[in-house]
Amino acid sequence: KFETPYVFVVFGASGDLAKKKIYPTLWWLFRDNLLPANIKFVGYARSDLTVPKLRDSFEKYCKVRDGENEKFVKFLEHCSYVQGKYDTSDGFQKLKQYIDAFQTESNNQPVNRLYYLALPPAVFNVVSTELKQNCMDNGDSWTRVIIEKPFGHDLKSSCELSNHLAKLFKEDQIYRIDHYLGKEMVQNLMVMRFGNRILAPSWNRDHIASVMISFKEDFGTGGRAGYFDTAGIIRDVMQNHLMQILTLVAMEKPASLNAEDIRDEKVKVLKATKIVELKDVVVGQYISNAECSHPEASQGYKDDPAVPADSVTPTYALAVLHINNERWEGVPFFLRCGKALNEKKAEVRIQFKEVSGDIYPSGELKRSELVMRVQPNEAVYMKLMTKKPGMGFGVEETELDLTYNNRYKEVRLPDAYERLFLEVFMGSQINFVRTDELEYAWRILTPVLEELENKKVKPVEYKFGSRGPVEGDELMKKYGFVFTG
């Protein structure tokens, strides 16, 4: 008996994403026996490569442990390589022949196809078109296409790309990856909100004062400055990862856990979110810092030879978003992201309002906070007021702390990509970005991006390893909030 055949084709097999993320993820899933048995991992690129050469590029990222070597060799036996151009049909024809032969080998069972387009935007259209013309299933198996950002550069180019894809594939064939949706704590957001009676009634403007969604990295743009300078932190992180988190924090309860129900609710939040105005944005750019011990700190963003000397590309941004609906009116959503800051941390912080009718000495009660720490060291904790233990009557702020490392010692939290790849195999689009979601997310940020760029707004300088520009804190203070993290 032959098992159903699957091919997982990596376009751009010689690139960074393939070696650092895609192949290692496939290996981990393979190692843990989570993939179908009859599967081929096919690399596709223009270079003259072989499986051993591919292995040389990705092995070190696979973190193969003692005792796993034999299995790793098996994994490599499932790998193959097709060399081909991106803009002519010959390579795609070769790929088709490869898949046809695999079908014959598999007792003529139709092959399910996953195509991962790990490609620069310039070749994206032509590859997807060639794929459609040469490599689709015949209707008796399925084809799914996985794509990575950038999904366009602004609203217009993103819509063009979406229209192009819509001509080739059906929505349920398109898997747009936002890897933040594969993270444990991001997936936990819906459970926290909709699985706890205690939270649901207070999840609104009557009880919540503000929401802070924060992404900090303690390293600079490293070897990616060339790409980064064409994007900037708003496109790189805010438009996708932070916006996705915002929708999960703010959306109404979906009718069911069905992908369309969930994504419908996410779209509604985005539609209700006001277009961001320049007055609600602070942008920054890091400079070198001789006092910081980080090995890259001696290089400011513009010291990188790949960055033009007059670049105004932001490496830090804080934006205040406003959702115009009954649940959220008046509650600021602070979205903050930055590179070369004082720490690596991503979290969602829900700050509740003051207690009404405070009976404690003035200033003693602090606002309760619920924090979901996405990384590192996943945790959910609630900052609450409690009585200071002992003879006294004083109060103090303390934490109900669910740190995953302590509570779930035995559980390995999978990498975001592992989870998402598996979801593609299973055909679940819950954690993938739908076309309209993407469009509305761009709609919110495109005008301010254009204004920043047209006016060449100079980002505020901040030192490598610092908390970022004080102007960010000042903007939050204008709204009445002080965050020290």
Triad 116, 120, 123: Cα angle to 5°: 85
Q: How far is the CB of 416 from ligand BG6 (least distance, A)?
A: 6
Going along 193-329, which residue ranges are E strands?
Answer: 208-216, 281-287, 316-321
Our CB check for ligand BG6 shows the closer of 217 and 418 to be: 217
Catalytic residue among 78, 164, 207, 241: 241
**Per-residue string for binding with ligand BG6, 306-345, x by CB under 6 A?**
----------------------------------------
Question: Which string of b and e fits 6-32 if b means at least 16 CB within 10 Å?
Answer: bbbbbbbbbbebbbebbbbbbbbbbbe
Q: How far is the CB of 354 from ligand BG6 (least distance, A)?
A: 33
Our CB check for ligand BG6 shows the closer of 42 and 249 to be: 249
Q: Residue 133 has which token pair? A: 């013309």
Our CB check for ligand BG6 shows the closer of 130 and 217 to be: 217
Scan residues 159-188 and list those touching ligand BG6 (CB under 6 A).
179
Bridge partners of 399, per DSSP, are 383
Our CB check for ligand BG6 shows the closer of 130 and 378 to be: 378
Our CB check for ligand BG6 shows the closer of 155 and 346 to be: 346
Q: Which residue is nearest to ligand BG6 (CB)?
A: 236
Q: How far is the CB of 149 from ligand BG6 (least distance, A)?
A: 7
DSSP alpha helix (H) spans, 327-427 = 404-407, 416-426
Query: Quick check: 280 binds ligand BG6 (CB under 6 A)?
Result: no
Angle between helices 259-272 and 243-250 (to 10 degrees): 100
Q: How far is the CB of 138 from ligand BG6 (least distance, A)?
A: 35
Number of residues that bind ligand BG6 (CB under 6 A): 5
Q: How far is the CB of 407 from ligand BG6 (least distance, A)?
A: 22
Question: 208-216 and 333-338: which strand pairing?
Answer: parallel
Our CB check for ligand BG6 shows the closer of 130 and 218 to be: 218
Q: How far is the CB of 35 from ligand BG6 (least distance, A)?
A: 22
Among 218, 236, 280, 347, binds ligand BG6 (CB under 6 A): 236
Going along 118-202, which residue ranges are E strands?
Answer: 143-147, 174-176
Long-range contacts of 440-443 (CB under 8 A, 24+ apart): 440/267, 440/270, 440/271, 440/273, 441/239, 441/240, 441/243, 441/244, 441/270, 442/152, 442/154, 442/155, 442/158, 442/159, 442/239, 443/155, 443/270, 443/275
> What single-letter DSSP state applies at residue 142?
-
CA 172 to the chain's CA centroid? 20
Q: Is 164 labeled as catalytic in the residue annotation?
A: no
Scan residues 417-446 and list those touching ligand BG6 (CB under 6 A).
none
d(CA 113, CA 146): 11
Residues that bind ligand BG6 (CB under 6 A): 179, 217, 236-237, 346
**Catalytic (active-site) positions:** 241
